[in-house]
Chains A and B, each alone.
Chain A
């Protein structure tokens, strides 16, 4: 591979990643239609009014609050379910670990669009009350994020060699709860943060479940809002996109710097 090819490839790819975002920003913040865009008009009509329009929309704040709460509850549920399981498996039954790794991949097999169908066969007929609340999304979000969250937690356990830590602490005579609370958990802060950040990013972007179960979250609101106020809708989408990107980016960078290799591919 020549130097020219390498850099050419990187530059083309960089353009591919950046240009759509720029186009989106232009559409949102410039009131000049594309058809009238010329050398003279391309500096005209820029304003941040669309952001103001979006942020003064009360429904937006309701949807944002819903999404934020969903993220928090999903993180709590995920940690309650997976954290003790991951820890106990690692230190007490390491032979079960491959099974857990495989099991937590299962949500890949039933994607949201398929699971929603299953939900309509089961809960909609059997327990319709369950789907009434917007928070019925929480278990499905926890499930959907599981391939990512479990791997983040497991990476943390591997990085601190939890089993050796446990045995070392045990030899000092510490009790099981003490070891977990005083030794293992404090060392897992980084991977818990990683799991939480990945969950937040997924919940803030999830559309299929919310849309098909007719819940108003940030993404579903965004789609409807964009149909009535195109530019404000795009401005909102851009802001959410930047916010998520920064969140994941910062977390990934801090973790890598700490030497914790968290996979964000869910595999």
Chain B
């Protein structure tokens, strides 16, 4: 069921366009990530949804009701900011209580809610600490508890993990996902970190230049990017020369694939192949010639850098348990995983 619907939103800051014709639908209980490089308009979209900015054109509906003119205080949204934004003069408990008091929740009800929030964010022993006495991860958990304490209709997260270090970021990421499922709150999460987005979201919307390029499940986005921007932004992708065939299919290395840009006039184009779809062999003569440049061991996989036909650089991810150690300068043969069917044509 659709809960949030932003339609044809346009926003200018002076001369510069922050959003051009941006539309987004979020279903009830869903976690949607807005992902994109800095300056792509993702934060602007979130701030317009929250009510901090007014859109120059377009409509926003929540529960089929237009909220374009509803002031921030009345929207009943929750938000977590990148800089935590905890009130420094209040303890964790008082921070969580702030919103409940604003919404005129009774004292007994407040107590129960706060205790439950502290419990589910695992902050029981931090309740009476001030923000400056807590670590970054703890602060962000308090901010999360504060944002969901008022049972908001929509939870907005603006790069909530960017200020934390890698380890905390990963564990808090899982915690947010877990909490969101448990509470069932509809969530919009803005980030520039694609791994974060893929790991956490039900659907990911990739943005660039103030527009939504594609919105889909993480798997769909990775395997079937609709355009070259999405393909390049999500994960690593090799560009390997492809030739079009008369039957509309494409030749890439030794494979015959369907291309996402079928019917193109171009004779020469590039096919996008993910590193894990590349095979490398020292013996398999039918595929293309390449020279090993370098290889780096990354734990479960080994990433090999090759030069194809002396010009194109290609990365291949091989399972470390299968990968025979290659020596730089060694001539090898590269091909495409035999069960790959489709490629994106650049």
Q: Do chains A and B touch in the complex (CB under 8 A)?
A: no
Q: Which residues of A contact B (CB under 8 A)?
A: none
Q: Which residues of B contact A (CB under 8 A)?
A: none
